[in-house]
């Protein structure tokens, strides 16, 4: 786990605030000399942008600043349409959103405590729990030894007696060492005890691939946890999602698996004043329609929502009006919203980063086939990560996970436009 | 041989890895085969006083000395009063008769699945659990019927649960291996070995949290974690020994070392078979006690539970005991040596306690017989009750998955729970 520290310090160096003090991603594009881009940087700057640029320019590396600059100029309006709002709306990174949600819930309820590796003095492996130790003390922000099974079980035992633990896994890959407790003693206990003992626990942490972290640190666990009755599985995308869903998760009387995304932590999203209120909660089990459309439905969660939205922008130019659904909750899955959307558009593309077999797209496809078969005008297109353990090499890793052009191509296939089956780059 | 009142020195054996074995009794142990086969070694002398002075200043000193003084100062020559004696006897008889009845019912087809019986180990359960308050918690493994009974769960509820009826303590949804009772603080019943240990550590953590953070000053609830010799090799066990000692949690780790994990002998599975030694390695006292002798277990338990209640931290207690039946009712139990079984059968804890009570004139034969008769009736009644209880209805299948009625964050009033401003307690301003 030592390389996590390296990645963090690397990030800290890259995310120095620009002179304006503004941490928006878009400003970093311009302040950085483009010829010094190395492959690792792709992970931090919007991957989709570079992917498209590379395809257009037809090179895999060593880009000339001028050529890219032209492309950047062309693409800038697209990016800024996503990000530039009037200065009156507040922007908040997902990291700050999670931190503020934890802070508020711990202040409101003394039963809430945080437990995990490096949550205290290190201020959180990804700085999500920054400042909480100073505010609430070491009894409520508990640094643990490297004992996932042990402290996950301790959290469950504490939850049996009415405390509300928030257990942080440094990444959900490490939750495999504790999965016995997440499933057997947390998820199943309310059922086994016939309602006598409920477990109001939250297991949270980054899920899915990051950038260049290799096979053992890149798996998406949405499908595994989403198949277990007794668990609620939430997948926030934006800062508002992060705040609302984490608060709902902490207040919920049942075990919640809260799958975040490491690459989203630094991304800023606008937040409404309502979302900043300390009693703001989002309902569990309801998806959000991020973009209304009438030609095709694209479902996604976590980081893929951003990709889907960008793909929708691209599809718009080709005359395809896409509806993007942010699932927000894998279990309970909002089948009603998905089916209603498919009945409207008649075509469906599901997007996820996890392995394809038995994945979330498979479940959504089955649900739609069961409930809205007559409404489908085309087979459901399922986009998932490649069926391989995640490679390390940057170009292989890029091929192993869905990119924006994959979503665009799949949408066009579903609309019966002729497109090549696979990526050409 | 096992119980002879006040004359014999304490049954406790506290050792440190750095100190040489000094007791002459230990030297008399049969060294060709390890003493864990149980026949040659029954008691161990406690450390001599000079050794005690060489000890590091930890609470371990208190364990030995306090018990020693208590024994010398006690007026009576008895280790427990008549009421306590009868209570413990009744509890042990209940455990034994209940488990025998379970076997009968299983072979008649009323019970099914995995059933693990506790015959022979009653001394550990009664010795420890009868010293607890109602608010103290017990966490166990799949061999949990008797732990639940000792903690106070009614025999009717346990029997119905085993029959899979809706009147069981978990409405038939848990089964033999998952006995839960929120009222009696029985926190399970876990099928995976080692799974209950972190849960117990969490319950102890809650007790400490309530005292320190929630400021419930008198919260001194203790948690007991029961598990076997096989579990003592599992990673979660060591993780929790570390954390419990690190944070000084009010927990007692009770190892029911019955020498066998299904068919795997403890000696074949463990590099160092003396489990109590693993305690001091993590900074807590490790105690070995004869688990076939309820009075000895009770003394050790008193001290360990007292330590936890006073906030001095955890204790690891290894009880050398034996299960008279196989691992479960499906186990043909062919690997164990009949001579070994006979040896331990001769040390039956119930017979031993009965002998002690009668010889020390704490109870008469008639009183004990009356207790046995009463328990027989209780268990018969439990079987009848379970027989006549209804099976769960079809609608019960989907119930209790979530505490939240619809599982969507929707409260009983039909609105989203998150919209209710009272959803979180507390008045802190943010």
| pLDDT at residue B427 greater than cutoff 90 | no
Query: Could you say which residues from 319 to 378 on chain B have a Cβ atom under 8 Å away from some Cβ of chain A?
Result: none
pLDDT of residue B217: 75
Q: Say whether pLDDT at A292 is over 90.
A: yes
Q: What residues contact A425, with CB distance under 8 A and at least 6 apart?
A: A51, A54, A55, A60
Picking from A139, A147, A193, the nearest residue to B239 by CB comes out as A147
- Calculate Rg over the CA atoms of chain B: 23
- Is the pLDDT assigned to residue B396 strictly greater than 50? yes
Residue A279 with chain B: CB contacts under 8 Å: 421, 423-424
Beta carbons of B201 and A157 less than 8 Å apart: yes
Give the chain A residue whose CA is nearest to the CA of B212.
A139
Which pLDDT band, with edges at 50, 70 and 90, does B77 fall under? low
Question: Which segment, A275-284, A298-307, B4-13, is predicted with the most confidence on average?
Answer: A298-307
Report the distance separating Cα B15 and Cα B23, nearest Å.
11
Asked if A168 and A99 count as a contact pair (C-beta separation under 8 A), the reply is no
Q: Which residues of chain B have a CB within 8 Å of the CB of A283?
A: 408-410, 416, 418
Best of A133, A136, A154, A275 to substitute, by most chain B Cβ atoms within 10 angstroms, is: A154
Distance, in Å, from the CA atom of B160 to the CA atom of B139, rounded to the nearest integer, reads: 20
A11-39 burial, b for 16+ CB within 10 Å, e for fewer?
beeeeeeeeeeebbbbebbeeeebeebeb
Residue B226: pLDDT over 50: yes
pTM: 0.75
B153-180 per-residue burial string, b: 16 or more CB within 10 A, e: under 16: bbbbbbbbbbbbbbbbbbbbbbbbbbbb
For tokens 């440190």, what's the residue? B16
> Which one from A71, A217, A353, A363 is the annotated catalytic residue?
A217
Half-sphere exposure of B373 toward its Cβ, with a 13 Å CA cutoff? 6
Cβ(B320)–Cβ(B43) under 8 Å?
no
> pLDDT class for B263, splitting at 50, 70, 90?
confident
Q: What are phi and psi of A35, to 5 degrees?
A: -70, -10
Yes or no: say if B187 and B174 are a contact pair by the CB < 8 Å rule: no
Catalytic site includes residue A352: no
Q: Is the pLDDT of residue A422 over 70?
A: no
Q: How many other CB atoms are found less than 10 A from the CB of residue B274? A: 17
Q: Which two tokens stand for residue B276?
A: 């109590």
* 3-state SS, residue A349: strand
Pairing state between β B286-290 and B13-14: antiparallel
Q: Which of A166-170, B254-258, B259-263 has the lowest mean pLDDT?
A: B259-263
Q: Tell which residue, A139, A114, A117, A135, has the closest CA to residue A126.
A: A117
Cα distance from B397 to chain A (closest Cα, Å)? 10
Which region among A52-61, A326-335, A405-414, B330-339 has the lowest average model confidence (pLDDT)?
A52-61
Residue B407's pLDDT is what? Answer: 60
Asked if CATH classification 3.40.50.970 holds for the domain at B82-261+270-388, the reply, yes or no, is: yes
Distance from CA of B196 to the nearest CA of A (A): 8
Residue-wise pLDDT tens digits, B8-44: 333 444 444 444 433 334 334 333 444 343 333 333 4
Closest chain B C-alpha to A113 CA, distance in angstroms: 10
Q: Where does the pLDDT of residue A14 fall: very low under 50, low under 70, confident under 90, or very high at 90 and above?
A: very low
At how many degrees (to 10) do helices B294-310 and B349-359 cross?
Answer: 90
Q: What is the spatial distance between Cα A261 and Cα A218, in angstroms, rounded to a whole number?
A: 11
**pLDDT exceeds 70 at position B261:** yes
Question: Torsion angle, CA of A388/A393/A399/A404, rounded to 10 degrees?
Answer: 130
Q: How far apart are CA B7 and CA A368, in angstroms?
A: 78
* Mean of pLDDT over chain B: 82
Cα(B175)–Cα(B163) distance, rounded to whole angstroms?
8
- A330 contacts in B (CB within 8 Å)? none
Residue A249 C-alpha, separation from nearest chain B C-alpha, in angstroms: 9
Chain A, nearest residue to B396 by Cα:
A194
Residue-range domain boundaries for chain B? 82-261+270-388, 396-427
On average, the pLDDT of chain A sits at 83
Q: What would the pLDDT profile of B296-317 be if each residue is shown by its tens digit?
A: 999 999 999 999 999 999 999 9
Using 50, 70 and 90 to split pLDDT, how confident is the model at B80? confident
Task: Answer whether B170 sits within 8 Å of A163, measured CB to CB.
Answer: no
Region of A93 on the Ramachandran plot (φ > 0 left; ψ -120 to 50 alpha; else beta): beta
Q: What is the pLDDT of residue A421?
A: 66
Residue carrying structure tokens 């959290």: A155
CB B319 within 8 A of CB B42: no
At residue B409, the pLDDT reads: 63
| CB–CB contact B173 A192 (8 Å) | yes
* Among the ranges given (A9-23, A203-217, B100-114), the one the predictor scored with the smallest mean pLDDT: A9-23
Assess contact for B123 and B290: CB atoms under 8 A. no
> Binning pLDDT at 50, 70 and 90, where does residue B215 land?
confident
B126: its two tokens: 């009664």
pLDDT in tens, B92-151: 999 999 999 999 999 999 888 889 999 999 999 999 999 999 999 999 999 999 999 999
Nearest CA in chain B to A192: B174
pLDDT of residue B331: 85
The pairs formed by A290-295 with CB atoms below 8 angstroms and a separation of 24 or more are A290/A324, A290/A325, A290/A326, A291/A322, A291/A323, A291/A324, A292/A323, A293/A321, A293/A322, A293/A323, A293/A324, A293/A345, A294/A321, A294/A323, A294/A344, A294/A345, A295/A320, A295/A321, A295/A322, A295/A323, A295/A345, A295/A347, A295/A415
Structure tokens at B34: 């390890």
CB contact under 8 A, A108 and B426: yes
List, for residues A353-385, the tens digit of each pLDDT value: 999 999 999 999 999 999 999 999 999 999 999
CA-derived radius of gyration, chain A? 21
- Residues of chain A in contact with residue B416, where contact means CB-CB under 8 angstroms, are 281, 283
The CA distance from B408 to B264, in Å, is: 46
**Measured between CA atoms, how close is B222 to chain A, in angstroms?**
13
What is the layout of strands, in order, in the sheet containing A329-331?
Answer: A141-143, A112-116, A164-168, A202-206, A256-260, A232-234, A329-331
Q: What pLDDT is stored for residue B412 in this prediction?
A: 65
Q: Where are the beta strands (DSSP E) in B302-406?
A: 315-320
Tokens of A320: 């395809």
Q: How far is CA B68 from CA B8, B16, B24, B353, in A?
A: 11, 19, 19, 21
Contact present, B54 and B332 (Cβ < 8 Å) = no
Structure tokens at B156: 């009717």
Determine the 3-state secondary structure of A256 from DSSP: strand
**Does B267 score more than 50 pLDDT?**
yes
pLDDT at A52 over 80: no
pLDDT confidence of residue B22: 38
Res. A24: pLDDT tops 50: no
Contact B171, B155 (CB under 8 A): no
pLDDT band at A221 (very low <50, low <70, confident <90, very high): very high
Q: Is B417 on the interface with A (CB under 8 A)?
A: yes
Joined together, the tokens standing for residue B99 give 């488990």
Interchain CB distance below 8 Å, A248 and B403: no
Handedness of CA A297, A300, A303, A305 (dihedral sign): positive
Answer whether B423 sits within 8 Å of A150, measured CB to CB.
Answer: no
Collapse the DSSP code of A160 into the 3-class scheme (helix H, G, I; strand E, B; otherwise coil) and give the result. helix
Measured between CA atoms, the residue of chain A closest to residue B404 is: A253
The 10s digit of each residue's pLDDT in B347-377 is 999 999 999 999 999 899 999 999 999 999 9
Best of B192, B253, B409, B427 to substitute, by most chain A Cβ atoms within 10 angstroms, is B409
Chain A residues lying within 8 Å of B423, measured CB to CB: 251, 279, 281
Q: Between chains, do B424 and A109 touch, taking CB under 8 Å as contact?
A: yes
Query: Across B134-285, where does the E strand assignment appear?
Result: 137-139, 180-181, 186-187, 223-228, 251-257, 260-261, 264-265
Q: Give B 246-285 residues with CB within 8 A of chain A.
A: 246
Contacts of A114 in chain B (CB under 8 A): none
* Closest residue to B195, CB basis, from A147, A185, A230: A185
Q: Give the distance, in angstroms, between the CA of residue A118 and the centroid of all CA atoms in the same chain.
A: 22
Of A103, A108, A192, nearest to B170 by CB-CB distance is A192
| A148 given a catalytic annotation | yes
Annotated catalytic residue: which of A104, A105, A148, A240?
A148
Tell me: pLDDT of B410 over 70: no
Q: Which residues in chain B are closer than 8 Å to A192, comparing Cβ atoms?
A: 170, 173-174, 178, 180, 188-189
Given this model, what pLDDT does residue B72 score? 44
Q: What's the burial of B73, exposed, middle or buried (CB within 10 Å: 0-12/13-18/19+)? A: exposed
Tell if the CB–CB gap between A163 and B180 is shorter than 8 Å: no
Which candidate from B202, B223, B403 shows the least CB-CB separation from A254? B403
Confirm if B411 and B417 have CB atoms less than 8 A apart.
Answer: yes
ipTM score for this prediction:
0.70
B residues 144..203 contacting A (CB < 8 A): 169-174, 178, 180-183, 187-192, 195, 197-203
Name chain A contacts of B235, Cβ cutoff 8 Å.
149
Rounded to 10 degrees, the C-alpha dihedral A228/A232/A235/A236 comes to 180
Q: Among B191, B243, B403, select the one facing A147 at the smallest CB separation.
A: B243
Alpha-carbon distances, residue B379 vs B93, B117, B177 (angstroms): 11, 15, 20
Question: Is residue A28 predicted with pLDDT exceeding 90?
Answer: no
């Amino acid at each position: 786990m030592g390389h996590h520290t390296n990645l963090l310090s690397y990030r800290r160096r890259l995310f120095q605030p620009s002179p304006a003090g503004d941490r928006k991603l878009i400003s970093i594009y311009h302040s950085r000399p483009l010829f010094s881009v190395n492959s690792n940087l792709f992970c931090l700057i919007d991957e989709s942008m570079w992917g498209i640029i590379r395809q257009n320019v037809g090179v895999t590396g060593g880009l000339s600043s001028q050529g890219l600059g032209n492309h950047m100029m062309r693409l800038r309006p697209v990016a800024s349409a996503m990000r530039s709002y009037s200065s009156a709306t507040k922007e908040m990174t997902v990291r700050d959103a999670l931190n503020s949600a934890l802070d508020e819930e711990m202040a409101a309820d003394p039963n809430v405590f945080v437990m995990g590796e490096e949550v205290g003095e290190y201020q959180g492996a990804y700085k999500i729990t920054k400042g909480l130790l100073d505010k609430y003390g070491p009894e409520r922000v508990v640094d643990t030894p490297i004992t996932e099974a042990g402290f996950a079980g301790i959290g469950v035992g504490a939850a049996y007696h009415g405390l509300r633990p928030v257990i942080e896994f440094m990444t959900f890959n490490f939750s495999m060492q504790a999965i016995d407790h997440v499933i057997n003693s947390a998820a199943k206990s309310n059922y086994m005890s016939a309602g006598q003992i409920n477990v109001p626990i939250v297991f949270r942490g980054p899920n899915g691939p990051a950038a260049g972290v290799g096979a053992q640190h890149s798996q998406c666990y949405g499908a595994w946890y989403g198949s277990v009755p007794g668990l609620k599985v939430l997948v926030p995308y934006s800062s508002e999602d992060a705040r609302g869903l984490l608060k709902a998760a902490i207040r919920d009387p049942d075990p919640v698996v809260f799958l975040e995304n490491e690459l989203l932590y630094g991304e800023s999203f606008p937040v409404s004043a309502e979302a900043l209120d300390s009693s703001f909660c989002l309902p569990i089990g309801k998806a959000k329609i991020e973009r209304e459309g009438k030609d095709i439905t694209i479902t996604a969660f976590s980081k893929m929502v951003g990709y889907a939205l960008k793909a929708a922008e691209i599809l718009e130019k080709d005359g395809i009006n896409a509806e993007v659904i942010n699932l927000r909750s894998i279990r309970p899955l909002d089948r009603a919203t998905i089916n209603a959307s498919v009945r409207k558009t008649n075509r469906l593309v599901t997007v996820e980063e996890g392995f394809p077999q038995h994945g979330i797209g498979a479940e959504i496809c089955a649900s739609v086939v069961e409930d809205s078969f007559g409404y489908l005008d085309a087979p459901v297109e399922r986009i998932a990560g490649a069926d391989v353990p995640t490679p390390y090499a940057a170009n292989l890793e890029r091929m192993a996970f869905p990119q924006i052009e994959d979503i665009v191509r799949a949408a066009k296939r579903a609309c019966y436009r002729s497109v090549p089956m696979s990526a050409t780059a | 041989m096992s119980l002879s009142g006040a004359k014999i020195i304490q049954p406790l054996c506290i050792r440190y890895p750095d100190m040489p074995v000094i007791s002459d009794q230990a030297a008399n142990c049969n060294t060709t085969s390890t003493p864990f086969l149980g026949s040659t070694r029954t008691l161990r002398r406690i450390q001599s006083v000079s050794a005690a002075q060489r000890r590091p200043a930890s609470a371990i000193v208190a364990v030995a000395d306090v018990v020693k003084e208590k024994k010398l100062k006690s007026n009576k020559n008895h280790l427990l009063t008549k009421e306590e004696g009868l209570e413990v006897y009744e509890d042990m008889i209940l455990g034994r008769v209940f488990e025998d009845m379970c076997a009968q019912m299983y072979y008649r087809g009323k019970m099914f699945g995995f059933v693990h019986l506790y015959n022979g180990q009653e001394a550990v359960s009664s010795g420890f659990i009868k010293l607890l308050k109602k608010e103290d918690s017990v966490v166990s493994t799949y061999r949990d019927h008797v732990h639940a009974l000792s903690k106070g769960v009614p025999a009717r509820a346990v029997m119905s649960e085993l029959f899979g009826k809706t009147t069981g303590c978990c409405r038939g949804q848990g089964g033999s291996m998952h006995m839960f009772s929120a009222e009696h603080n029985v926190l399970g019943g876990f099928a995976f070995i080692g799974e209950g240990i972190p849960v117990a550590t969490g319950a102890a953590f809650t007790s400490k949290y309530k005292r320190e953070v929630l400021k419930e000053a008198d919260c001194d609830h203790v948690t007991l974690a029961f598990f076997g010799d096989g579990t003592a090799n599992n990673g979660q066990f060591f993780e929790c020994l570390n954390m419990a000692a690190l944070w000084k949690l009010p927990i007692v780790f009770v190892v029911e070392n019955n020498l066998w994990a299904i068919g795997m002998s403890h000696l074949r599975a463990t590099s160092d078979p003396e489990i109590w030694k693993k305690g001091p390695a993590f900074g807590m006292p490790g105690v070995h006690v004869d688990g076939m002798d309820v009075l000895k277990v009770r003394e050790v338990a008193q001290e360990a539970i007292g330590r936890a209640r006073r906030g001095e931290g955890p204790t690891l207690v290894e009880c050398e005991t034996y299960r008279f039946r196989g691992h479960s009712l499906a186990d043909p139990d062919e690997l164990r040596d009949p001579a070994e079984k006979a040896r331990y059968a001769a040390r039956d804890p119930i017979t031993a306690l009965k002998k002690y009570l009668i010889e020390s004139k704490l109870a008469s034969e008639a009183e004990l017989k009356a207790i046995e008769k009463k328990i027989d009736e209780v268990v018969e009644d439990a079987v009848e009750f379970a027989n006549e209880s209804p099976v769960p209805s079809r609608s019960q299948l989907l119930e209790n998955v979530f505490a939240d009625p619809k599982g969507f964050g929707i409260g009983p009033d039909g609105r989203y729970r998150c919209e209710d401003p009272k959803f979180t307690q507390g008045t802190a301003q943010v």
